[in-house]
Structures are given as structure tokens and as C-alpha cells.
Structure 1
Amino acid sequence: MSPIERAALAFRKQLSPSLLSDGSLPVEEKFTEADFAEIARAAIAAIRDPDEKMQEAGAEVVKYVGSSESREAHRSDAANTFRFMIDALLSDG
């Protein structure tokens, strides 16, 4: 199951109390499988830009790549890495 599919399933479970045990939707449900996938994509797109806390967390990882870089450069690298990962996730379908 792809990350988009996992996110769509999570949305289905939260928004659809009539979700069947196999994860499918009853025929009368107003949301379609495609609707949930689009909701998942929209949620992921909405978190594409990391906040300061996320940049700091990422900076802890990337600071070892180029220790001579400034703290702001580390934060920028972390933010860009996060964006690249989200873009890849969104393009994965």
C-alpha cells in the first residue's frame, strides 16, 4: 500500500463511520475512493512547507553532511529535503 493509499484509508476511517471491515465503502457512501485519495493528496500538499520545528529537526540530520555550513544553511537544506520528499510522494500516486 502506497503512502497516499494509507493516508486515504486513514481519512476514510475518520470520515466514514460506515466503512466496511475490508476497508471498502458502502455503495450509498457520499465519498468515493478517488475523493479520499484527493483528500490525502491535499493534506500532504498542505504540509509541504515545514515549520520551524520541523526545519530544526531536519537540520540535526543534515548538519553532519557539511559541518562548515551555517545553521541557516542547514535549516534551508532540511526544508528543501522535506519538500523534495513530499513532492516525490505526491508524484508517486
Structure 2
Amino acid sequence: MAVLERDYRIDGIKWLLIVLVTFGHVIEPALSNPIANKLYSIIYIFHMPLFVFISGYYANVKDKEKLISKGFMLLETFLVVMIP
């Protein structure tokens, strides 16, 4: 298997996302302020989807059918647990 070089741009993006999440947690008590509320909303709109995208981009998937099957099982379990 070939060794891939590390992409420091991705590391930088992940670092920025971690800083934004930390900042979002810091401003959480001040959500009654409209500016803090807007910043909080903007941060939380994109940071988790971007984390998931980056993780999926670097995932080593050999059997896509097995991955999809496990994903649906996880979704089914989530729905059963979350629906009262």
C-alpha cells in the first residue's frame, strides 16, 4: 500500500473548525445577544457537516454495500430510540 503525504490544508481546516466549535461553546451563555446568537447559528450551520465530509473523504471504504447496510442499521436504531 502506498503511503500518502499528509495534506496540511485539511489539518488547518480541522483546526479552524475546532476553534470555531470552542468559540461557539464560549458564546453560548450570551445567546440572548442578537450578535452572539447570529454567530452561534452561523458556526453551527456548517461545522459538523464539514467535519463529517472531511472524515468521509479520508475513509478507506472497501465494501460500499456493507457500509451502506451498517449506515441504514444505525439510522434505524436512531429512529427507534428517538421516536417516543
* TM-score computed with the length of structure 2 as normaliser: 0.36
The structure with the greater share of residues assigned to helix is 2
* TM-score computed with the length of structure 1 as normaliser: 0.34
Bigger RCO of structures 1 and 2 (CA < 8 A, at least 6 apart): 1
